[in-house]
A and B are shown apart, each in its own frame.
Chain A
Amino acid sequence: MEPRTITLTVNGDRRCVAVRPNLTLVEALRDELHLTGTKQGCGTGDCGACTVYLDGRPVNSCLTLAVEADGRSVTTVEGLAPSGTELHPVQEAFIAHGAVQCGYCTPGMVMSSAALLSREPAADEPSVRHALAGNLCRCTGYTKIVEAVLACVGDGSCGAHGAAAAEGKA
């Protein structure tokens, strides 16, 4: 139960951190690496607020041990935007469509939406709803979130950004 040092790539940067085996990835990201964009809601895999990419795949960081990320790459919402002055097109669309209220679900929603658009750049409404089924929102009623994601379909930009982020390069 001794802490062990893991090395992982977070948003493109190599980081070393000492973690106990029972620390989850969301706890390590927030408490050790001070990346508080990723939220913990339920801690049981139901709400999706903790969604990050592990080796490019969207996963629940509350169902992932920090030690599992040893040698792997993690992308959080802080790493999604292409630069410090530009937002990811999904983030822009969420703002433009009023898809954010309290904002607690937003990092997870944005990560899941960007992952969908990089996999399925021509996603339609049923596939957006299916892809976001693992992200709960207590505020918006989902309509504006779905509208925001659909607004990104076809403009081409999301796919490219999504793919770059998904590979941990963003």
Chain B
Amino acid sequence: MRLPAFDYHAPATLDEVFAAIGDRGRDTQLLAGGTDLLPSLRSGKRRCRQVVALKGVAGLDAIRFDPETGLEIGACALLAEVQDNPAVREHYPVLASAIRTLATVQVRHKATVVGNLCNASPCADTAPPLMALGARVRIVGPDDQHELPLDGFITGPRRTAREPEELISSVLVPPPDPALRTVFLKFSPRSKVDISAVSVAAALRLEDGLARAVGIFLGTVAPTPMRAASAAAALEGLEPTSEVIDLAARTARGECQPVTDFRASKEYKQHLVEVLTRRALRALVEGGA
């Protein structure tokens, strides 16, 4: 089946991007890798009159790491490039391991991290680990730019806090915290090339045997990737015994709001949330991750 017709622009600078968008933001789709955009245009889930490709915009493909300021992943940096980046592997292994589970070699060589976030699917696999790392997004418009925490940027299925005439130029990850332990676990019925039925990212520090800075983030079990705040609170400041971990995992189960779909029933997803949260927290406490 052919794609519906649209105009196409391939600007070379951000100014040209904003000129191309003009006041047609609502009729425009930005094109990064196109691995979400093309199928959704074909199926009619998304419509647009014009596609504005970001690939040719100088500088948007950069991946920069500085121990003082952290990691910046440009809008056109490919998933495969981020996955293979030495600084990402060394300082943010949870992100590299989440990308490894995402889609296929071919998709990872076309798709971007920023596209995964802007697509705003509850199943976006880079969202829970990036939220656990405290990432922010940089939003650039024709006149100014600002940053928002990633936690809160995705506001609903296919909806973000971005205005139609704005774009995300990069994702910013804080400097690495060597004491912060992180892990990402994902379950999907087919082990490869499958959207997650449930995913969990967790982070914590162990200070004098107590769990601190606990963050638990769940994918695919709510309209957006979500922070399991009560589950994290059930662990925060406590010694992570197996009873405490079990309670946090049960709390996560109670906190999530999954719906039945063809991947799994609501009840099965709730069960998976509990199991994966328990496994994730155990892995962090046992120090493997």
Partner of B7, one of A1, A27, A59, A68: A1
Q: Does A138 make an interface contact (CB < 8 A)?
A: no
Query: What bracket does the count of chain A residues touching chain B fall in?
Result: 20 to 34
Could you tell me if A45 and B106 are in contact, using CB atoms closer than 8 angstroms?
A: yes
Instruction: Provide the main secondary structure of the chain A interface.
Output: mixed
Partner of B106, one of A4, A43, A58, A70: A58
Complex Cα gap A116–B105 (Å): 9
Could you tell me if B107 and A68 are in contact, using CB atoms closer than 8 angstroms?
A: no
Complex Cα gap A48–B31 (Å): 21
Could you tell me if B8 and A4 are in contact, using CB atoms closer than 8 angstroms?
A: yes
- What residue in chain A is nearest B107 (Cβ atoms)? A45
Find the residue from B7, B103, B193 having the highest chain A CB count within 10 A: B193
For A131, the chain B residues whose CB sits under 8 A away are 105
Per-residue interface assignment for chain B, residues 2 to 24, with 1 indicating a CB less than 8 Å from any chain A CB and 0 otherwise = 11111110100000000000000
Could you tell me if B5 and A48 are in contact, using CB atoms closer than 8 angstroms?
A: no
Q: Does B64 make an interface contact (CB < 8 A)?
A: no
Given A22-B3, A63-B39, A68-B34, verify A112-B8 contact (CB < 8 Å). no
Given A63-B34, A68-B55, A112-B106, verify A24-B3 contact (CB < 8 Å). yes
Q: Does B80 make an interface contact (CB < 8 A)?
A: yes
Instruction: Provide the main secondary structure of the chain B interface.
Output: loop
Given A43-B42, A57-B80, A60-B110, verify A133-B6 contact (CB < 8 Å). no
Q: Does B109 make an interface contact (CB < 8 A)?
A: yes
Interface size of B in residues (CB-CB distance below 8 Å): 30
Per-residue interface assignment for chain A, residues 21 to 61, with 1 indicating a CB less than 8 Å from any chain B CB and 0 otherwise = 11110010000000000000001111010010010011110
Could you tell me if A43 and B1 are in contact, using CB atoms closer than 8 angstroms?
A: yes
Could you tell me if B2 and A112 are in contact, using CB atoms closer than 8 angstroms?
A: no
Q: Does A65 make an interface contact (CB < 8 A)?
A: yes
Q: Does A20 make an interface contact (CB < 8 A)?
A: yes
Could you tell me if B35 and A45 are in contact, using CB atoms closer than 8 angstroms?
A: yes
- What residue in chain A is nearest B191 (Cβ atoms)? A133
Complex Cα gap A113–B105 (Å): 11
Could you tell me if A59 and B109 are in contact, using CB atoms closer than 8 angstroms?
A: yes
For B110, the chain A residues whose CB sits under 8 A away are 54, 57, 59-60, 63-64
For A70, the chain B residues whose CB sits under 8 A away are 10
List 10 A-B pairs, minimum CB-CB distance, nearest first: A134-B104, A21-B8, A133-B192, A22-B3, A57-B109, A1-B5, A59-B110, A60-B106, A134-B106, A44-B39
A-contacting residues of B (Cβ < 8 Å)?
Answer: 1-8, 10, 31, 33-35, 38-39, 42, 51, 53, 55, 78, 80, 103-107, 109-110, 192-193
